[in-house]
Amino acid sequence: MSDVDITSKTMDGMGPHGTKVGLLRVLGPAHVWALGVGIVLVGEYMGWNFAVGKGGAYAALIACWFAGILYTCVAMIDSEVTSTVASAGGQYTQAKHIIGPLMAFNVGLYLVFAYTMLEAANAITAGYLFSVVATMSGHEAALDQQPFIILVIMFLAWLNYRGVLATLTFNLVITAIAFVAILVLFVSTSGILGGGIMQHAALFEGHEMPYGWIGVLASMHFGLWYYLGIEGTTQAAEEVRSPARALPFGTLAGIMTLLIAATLTWYICTGVLPYEFLGDGVNGSVAPLFDTARLSGSMGLVWLLGFGTLFATLASANGCINDASRAWFAMGRDKYLPGWFGAVHPKYRTPYRSIVFLVPIALIFALKAPLDQVITFSILSGLLGYTFMPLNIIMFRKKWPLNSIKRGYEHPFHPLPAVTLLALCAITFFAVFLGYGTQLVAMIGFYIVVSLWFHFWRYRFVNRGAQFTMPWPKPKGY
């Protein structure tokens, strides 16, 4: 067994590369929860409702729960691996130590694109919200949303530049408010407090399964949006005080929170909004919880859910900047990307060059691409990453069986979660193929080209043995 114990209370983690100036270890389990839930909770405030459009309300509920199973597998697998790999980069660093450099390079790109596209989607929603508030406040002409989109991304990038503790403490507060707003809307509209306004049976009448079972399959595409990003908790691995305890706790508490929030969101919105309106997130309901509050007749709820939507988008964009920059930084530090990106700010101790570099990329997509396409780009990158995870955990258990290194968490029923995850990923690939097959093929084509570029060109700048920074014994079979 390795002589370095990640579960130790006196040595909580390890400093990869032995750098003197590293990222600050200041975060606790609540910050990990806030990072995971903060990124994802916006999925209940916008985007998930495309699943209703793809197959109807029941299809969206089935997709919600099957995607919930998929992400529960992701959280279990991730918690085990990351409780031993306490290093920035999350799944990227896991892939580097378990499968190999090219897989790691691909996983790093999945992470960067999934989070950067999610950040762009959040900024689009925030811009829309500002325009609605302007209209409600009596502004007559259509409000130009672009300055608000730019402002949101720039402000959050600045916050990330200045320091991780302030960034994630900010996330903790606004995520908690956004989550409470969903609970308040539920108790206010479901009949628990006062008269309820739910009309599920009447609104579903004649539209129960508008596309039949193929619609249920198609809904899985956007079903992922309820939870996409929970795996981002691992990005904070190098900045938490006790990774072996905080990462599994924060991640698993996060997925439980999201399962509750997703189901409540489906129940609230489908009981108030007609399915065609709810299911069109571009021309119909951009922000379904906010639209539900508008129909509740309570101005208090309208303001609460307005702020809830705004806070959810800000928290998500904030977490996405945090995660995408850590993945980009980690690849730069390993020379998978130009080493210039691997720098840590001497004063704020943040990966500041990576943060700044990704700002214009997010802006291009937020300003130039429609919301459903941006969401699809994010989902596709996420899906490729989830397909990697079963391979990762199977190889991890094979190369380092349970007693060979000490784990902070061991997930049960292995390999059942891995097999389940792989099967659900296959179904979701088919769902994406049903509507967005061209993008899927274009994106895979992109990853094939960059993989060849990495293997035959870029990898020459990477030191070989130095990439393996974990204090683990030699893997079995090598």
CB 378 within 8 A of CB 372: no
Q: Which is nearer to other proteins, 71 or 377 (CB)?
A: 377
Q: How many CB atoms lie under 10 A from the CB of residue 360?
A: 9
Using CB under 8 A, which residues numbered 296 to 315 contact other proteins? none
The single-letter DSSP state of residue 9 is S
CB of 26 to other proteins, least distance (A): 30
Q: Return the residue of 256, 391, 419, 423 that touches other proteins, per CB under 8 A.
A: 391
Q: Which stretch binds other proteins (CB under 8 A): 27-35, 246-254, 403-411, 427-435?
A: 427-435
| Sign of the alpha-carbon dihedral angle for 63, 66, 68, 71 | negative
Inter-residue contact 261 to 352 (CB < 8 Å): no
Show the tokens assigned to 453.
């570029």
**Binding residue for other proteins (CB under 8 A) from 35, 67, 337, 389?**
337
Give residues 27-56 in contact with other proteins (rule: CB under 8 A). Answer: 53-54
Q: Which residue among 45, 377, 396, 400 contacts other proteins (CB under 8 A)? A: 377
Q: Which is nearer to other proteins, 349 or 399 (CB)?
A: 399
Q: What are phi and psi of 27, to 5 degrees?
A: -95, 150
DSSP string covering 368-423: HS-HHHHHHHHHHHHHHHHHHHHHHHHHHHHHS-TTTS--S---TTTTHHHHHHHH
Could you tell me the two tokens for 393? 């955990």
Q: Is 191 in the site for other proteins (CB under 8 A)?
A: no
Tell whether residue 82 is a contact of other proteins (CB under 8 A). no
Residue 175 or 292: which CB sits closer to other proteins?
A: 292
Question: Looking only at residues 131 through 150 of this chain, which bind other proteins when binding is defined by CB under 8 A?
Answer: none
Task: Report if residue 218 touches other proteins, rule: CB under 8 A.
Answer: yes
Task: Determine which residue in the list 14, 24, 30, 203 makes contact with other proteins, applying CB under 8 A.
Answer: 203
Site for other proteins in 435-464 (CB under 8 A): 435-451, 453, 455, 458-464
Binder to other proteins among 25, 326, 333, 335 (CB under 8 A)? 335
Of 60-68, 144-152, 231-239, 433-441, which part binds other proteins (CB under 8 A)?
433-441
Question: Which residues in 223-282 contact other proteins (CB under 8 A)?
Answer: 272-274, 276-277, 280
Nearer to other proteins, 213 or 413 (CB): 213
Across 31-68, b (16+ Cβ under 10 Å) vs e yields bbbbbbbbbbbbbbbbbbbbbbbbbbbbbbbbbbebbb
Q: How far is the CB of 29 from other proteins (least distance, A)?
A: 32
b/e map of 163-172 (b: 16 or more CB within 10 Å)? bbeebbebbb
